[in-house]
Amino acid sequence: VPVDNFEYNSVESFDLRYLGFEGFTEERKGRRVVLLYLGNEGQIESFYNASGFLFELASELSAGVLFIEHRYYGKSLPFGEDGSFTNEGLRYLSIEQALADYSLFIAEGVPNLLGCEDCDVVIFGGSYGGMLAAWHRWKYPHLTVGALASGAPIDFYPETGIQDDFYDAFLHTYEISQEGCGATLDTLLRTKYSEDDLNHLNICSPESATVDTFMFYVKGAVSSLAMIDYPYELNFIAPLPANPVEVGCGLLRGGGGDVEPPIVQLRNLVDLYVNYTGDLACWDLDAELVGEGGGVGRMVGSSDLLGVTSWNYQACTELILEPITSDGFGFYPPDDGKESQKVIDRCKAMFGVTTRPEWMPLSFGTSEDYSKYLTNTILAENEKDPWHVGTQDVVANEKNELYRLFAEGGAHHQDLRFSDELDSEGVKAMRAKERDIIKKWLNL
């Protein structure tokens, strides 16, 4: 694909990596169906292995399955590992460029790979990938039959109060796991801590640590633990036991008959998420985008799978409410005002960019716009995933085939994973509805 899809005098190009499976592929009614996952902020293998529903559906539809990697992630690097992550090299990383890449792949790559001049392409995505799937329908609806966007906060913008909704949503996950746990965690998060309290923590650079960066790190970890509260043991973003929120609620009660200090309870809960294996040497608070100094390099932790530098660049340019936090394991929306200004200032220092938060709703729309004009799109929300508040104001539109589905007991895009006997009835019912809608789009 071109390095710059919107430059008409450039001949520079690079390779986007894709993965495919053709074991189910055959023509039905003279048509060939393709299920295409639009890659998110990491290596494409991690999404290939976490999206079993596409393979289950492909077996029913005799469809081909393709996964396309996002530019600047995994091995799809425009200027190689050395040149892609400089401030100059990163300037071709944007949502607009990624959507254009995917359009070229649909128009030129898919027909060549699967031997169909006019394939019926249904696009899929979870989390940021889901946002891309919905936004691809918004920008390029003529190229696909429809989209399934799961856990896709497409209306998550500053100055809307969405951060408060997000906070309430992740506390809800703790509360439904164990009565009173959400309230306990809320109290711990609202406790006023001092610099001396930080001595209870294993911080990489204690001399530069602040209570503000500590709290942002904590919120990123505990909200992300809620997000991936799957009913089975899993290593996705972070290795965790089954029902990790329930495990975490047990840690908040303290050991034996004694209740541990609030700072220690928070430490134990955060360590369950970021350091379940014991491999993380210390908490790197300096890497937080809301920080005021210290290191500005790559975070550790899950950065081998998730492109931390690339994603924080995207947070700095277009997605200010979704910076990576908690040693690369979490995401958390900064509050409007002081925290957001810290992110803007840090972005300028790190990448030399000026954040334009007003651009996204102008270019990609809001819930009001989607409710009126978005077509052939399923917005799938899972109860335990706090990011579902990013579609809470979208109104389903039967005429336009815009659907909002909600799964009680579901975690972050759990409906895209392989079916499991431990799935909640809500997740099972939502998958069944998704199947029916997609088959309707395909006239099958």
Burial class (CB in 10 A: 0-12, 13-18, 19+), 56: middle
Can you state the angle between helices 262-274 and 244-251, rounded to 10 degrees?
160
Count of Cβ atoms closer than 10 Å to residue 98 Cβ: 27
Q: How far apart are CA 34 and CA 39, in angstroms?
A: 15
Task: Give the 3-state secondary structure of residue 154.
Answer: coil
The residues near 432 (Cβ < 8 Å, ≥ 6 apart) are: none
Q: How far apart are CA 120 and CA 113, in angstroms?
A: 14
CB 289 within 8 A of CB 315: yes
CB 95 within 8 A of CB 314: yes
Can you give the length of the chain in residues? 444
Cα distances (angstroms) measured from residue 149 to each of 62, 125, 174, 422 = 22, 5, 25, 23
DSSP secondary structure letters along 258-283: PPPPHHHHHHHHHHHHH-TTS---SB
List, by residue number, the catalytic residues: 127, 385, 412
Task: Tokens for 285, please give them.
Answer: 């608070």
